[in-house]
Copies of this chain bind each other. A is one copy, B any other.
Amino acid sequence: MSTPIPPSLQIIPVPGIPEINPGDDLSNLIANGVTQACGLLEGDVLVVSQKVVSKAEGRLVTVDPDDPLAHKPLVLDEARRVLRRRGDLIITETKHGYVCANSGIDRSNVAPDIAALLPEDSDRSARRIRDAIKGQLGVSVAVIVADTFGRPWRRGLTDIALGCAGIKPILDLRGTDDAVGRELHVTEVCIVDELAGAAELVRGKSTGVAVAVIRGVDPAWFGSGSVVEDVVRHPSEDLFR
């Protein structure tokens, strides 16, 4: 019993979103940028860089521009606990539950005297953007707030989802049949992380493209859910902390 062949996906970069400052109406700027780039269709997934969300929400702290380690005390402020340290590298579990370097604080794509913190609640940020897009353009989309994280065991970074709205973060394929009819026992795919990574492929790091649209995803993926509640693994279930 196979399900139908899925259609192609398209991943579209959205340029033209200006430099964001605290208090800017990010959703409005995204709506305008997307309208110029490709429009929005019911069922599109909008992937938004954490950095512009943090800027719009004023999650910025002034630091000494001449001290490359000036943001390190903030790392501990934003952490629930420190998991590992090696030299200047600090791996923490953040207040939200993410495990990442430097509590997700970084100083790229901001002014030299600024450090950007993660949004307070990226799921809420995603819901706000989703609601505002619905209000302004009349279209229901899913929204993912994405950031670039390292991971153990493998070199190189990938983009993952910090928050989401309007989409099921994890697709539960348990109990569906695989291609030869055997029941799949443990296949829960984290589609929001795969979508965030896919968007990174067109956003790049240096292009100032803070938003991408992913078009053509399975309508069955839409629904409700939260990255922090559904994706972040509770420490008691985790073997590597």
Would A11 and B13 be within 8 Å (CB), given that A177-B206, A189-B205 are in contact? Answer: no
Which positions 141-170 of chain A face chain B at CB distance < 8 Å? 148, 151-160, 169-170
Would A8 and B13 be within 8 Å (CB), given that A154-B190, A158-B193 are in contact? Answer: yes
> Can you name the residue of chain B whose Cβ is closest to the Cβ of A185?
B108
Pick from A23-31, A72-80, A119-127, A230-238 the stretch touching chain B. Answer: A230-238
Q: Which of A110, A111, A152 neighbours the largest number of chain B CB atoms within 10 Å of its CB? A: A152
* A70: Cβ under 8 A from any B Cβ: no
Interface size for chain A: under 10, 10 to 19, 20 to 34, or 35 or more residues?
Answer: 35 or more
Count identical subunits in the complex. 2
Q: B205 contacts A173, CB within 8 Å? A: yes
Would A201 and B209 be within 8 Å (CB), given that A112-B182, A182-B109, A239-B152 are in contact? Answer: no
Q: Which of A2, A112, A188, A198 neighbours the largest number of chain B CB atoms within 10 Å of its CB? A: A198
**CB neighbours of A207 from chain B (8 A):** 2-6, 179
Q: Which of A155, A195, A201 neighbours the largest number of chain B CB atoms within 10 Å of its CB? A: A201
* A217: Cβ under 8 A from any B Cβ: yes
Would A204 and B109 be within 8 Å (CB), given that A8-B13, A152-B152, A240-B240 are in contact? Answer: no
Q: B233 contacts A202, CB within 8 Å? A: no
Apart from the given pairs A86-B239, A99-B153, A153-B240, 15 other A-B contacts in the complex at a CB distance below 8 Å: A6-B207, A11-B11, A152-B152, A154-B232, A154-B233, A155-B188, A155-B231, A155-B232, A156-B170, A156-B189, A156-B191, A179-B208, A184-B205, A189-B205, A194-B198
